Amino acid sequence: MKEFFGGLLMAVGGLIAVLSGMCSLAMFASGLRRGLSGLADSLSSLPLILLFGGVPFALGAGLFMLGRRLRQKKAQL
């Protein structure tokens, strides 16, 4: 049962991390398409992108790591 719950946490955490990371990257890249002025806009909005995209990414990565830890079997001595 512990392995199933660990796998479930890994799947959900991985999806959260990947999707929020891709969304953050898309928001940053959308500013870069406008040229040099877009670069300044993207860099000025980077803290906002990291705030709204970084928190779910960190949460998803944490869930993934927790699930991975649950799935690891105890070493037998």
Task: Tell whether 31 is covered by a domain.
Answer: yes
pLDDT tens digits, 38-53: 677 777 888 888 888 8
CA angle (71, 21, 15) in 5-degree steps: 35
Domains held by the chain: number: 1
pLDDT tens digits, 10-32: 999 999 999 999 998 888 887 77
Which structural domain range is residue 36 located in? Answer: 2-70
Task: Tell whether 76 is covered by a domain.
Answer: no
Q: How far apart are CA 41 and CA 52, in angstroms?
A: 17
Task: Tell whether 75 is covered by a domain.
Answer: no
Q: What percent of the chain has pLDDT over 90?
A: 42
